[in-house]
Structure 1
Amino acid sequence: MTDFAAHRLLLVHAHPDDESIGQGATMAKYVAEGRGVTLVTCTAGEMGEILVPELEHLAADKDDGLGLHRRGELDAAMAALGVTDHRFLGGFGTYRDSGMKWHEDGHAIPADEVHENAFWHADLTEAASHLVSVIREVRPQVLVTYDEFGGYGHPDHIQAHRVAMYAAQLAAVPSYRRDLGEAWEIAKIYWGAMSDSRFRDGLRKLREAGDSTSFEGMDPDGYLPPFFLADSDITTEIDAVDFTERKMAALAAHATQIETDGPFFALSNNEGQLVWGRELFRLVKGKPGPVGDNGWETDLFAGIEG
């Protein structure tokens, strides 16, 4: 019999809210099953947009208090998901949100001005060593982070990918920084994914229902930004439909970043169960486990003993 209590998942994300968008339902499902879930967030999201008018004074060019506020939002989101172990890389305030701007091709790129303490400027070995300490303490069998493009090109997402992948290597080297704990090799590493075909189907239904504003500018039959993957590149699907409401509650907790009447909630009825309750991944290290009817793994821990 599988000992779920021996299973430990580590997620590495750039800002508060990224975790709930990407893997909120999976996190809630695994917590409910008694598996260990640890979240490491690399920045406090100080440069994020503010969607709550009465909180606009928290903006970086005003009171610069958004990071502390988003720390509270993250606490509320984790409470909604049931996650009790969540940390900031190197401690709260070690790395600042780098900000971004949009490229004409529809993906993010670094902003024209980047704070000197921005995560984008972090020393890779220093940042990775902070994560090595967590890896050796938690000893996860599974790591989840972004792909090499950071999903949509945000510099902090790209840096989180680099830090997570490098830290996973360093943590497994017995002679590297013995002061950070006993060496630990992570058995399976995944990058979060979004299905091109599945998103197009959901977007098409929205357009057919008369919704022309959600995901504005995206055409279900035309060009989509490069963060959507062909189904053939996806390896794993976690069916966490039963935890969709918890994911939506976590998203709602990130009120400065996500509008409850915005595009993330536009698919919240029938399509929401499919789009937001079934989360997708790409296995990049480790052996795939048994697959379901669609040819994808159904458990991130598949094939891991215990």
Structure 2
Amino acid sequence: METAKEIKDFLTTRRAKITPDQVGLPTVGRRRVPGLRREEVALLAGVSAEYYIQIERGQVAGVSDEVLHAVATALRLDDVETAHLFDLARVAGKAGRRQSRARTPRRQVSEALQALVDAMVAAPAIVQNGQLDIVAANSLGRALYDAVYDDGPEPPNLARFIFLNDRADDTFPRWEKAADDTVALLRVAATKAPYAKAITNLVGELATRSPEFRTRWAAHDVRAHRSGTKDFRHPAVGDLTLRFEALDAAAAPGLSLIGYTAEPGSASEEALMLLASWAATERTAPRSPLAP
């Protein structure tokens, strides 16, 4: 990852989203940029234009946390975007030292974590890592993501499925949002582990094979995956709108446990009960004598 370019592109795309009117600055003369000028960001952050230009070029060695917070405030960054800026600055600070191209650690799901996932019998649950591999699931989670599991060899990968599988827009009816969220999550993971081979290889593959991914990657959006709703379409039970909560696995950094629930009394709750029946049937169905 070229950290200086990442910083430049991130800050440039953020200031392009803000107009002078939004921050109380006058609009004078013809503007050649869609958002704030660099000089205007510097004014709002309380630093000189030359200093801000240096920061935007990725020259952040020695830049204090106070200045980074001031830039984040000037650009109206949210908590996730602010954390991302600090992660970029941290990586840039290490750029002068020789960095190895590390492998992403193979995150083994502990017996205790798997037991917890399996105990969630009424709610779909999965465990995923930073590059969006599904590394564990309970029975309902496996059923909910059945199409993703069918996509290829283990572990199934959500990003690869969403951008490279023809069934993705049917499995995820709100495909545009799913695609946006996927890239924003990968961007965060790639910055936190800039030398992780698994993540950089995945990003390279998707950028090469998917124009939709390339467009979103160039936007430099970042996002957290903590709570919200997600839409699914399952061939056996139809459409489901489910609430989700994501929890970091404290004993296994880099892994997140995601559980799904349906609104009580909703059509999605009924569909979720049907999905449980379908999953049980799939588990107990006899295998064909001709099956391998």
* TM-score of the pair, normalised by structure 2: 0.26
Larger relative contact order (C-alpha < 8 A, sep ≥ 6)?
1
- Asked which structure has the greater CA Rg, the reply is 2
- Greater share of helix: 2
* TM-score of the pair, normalised by structure 1: 0.25
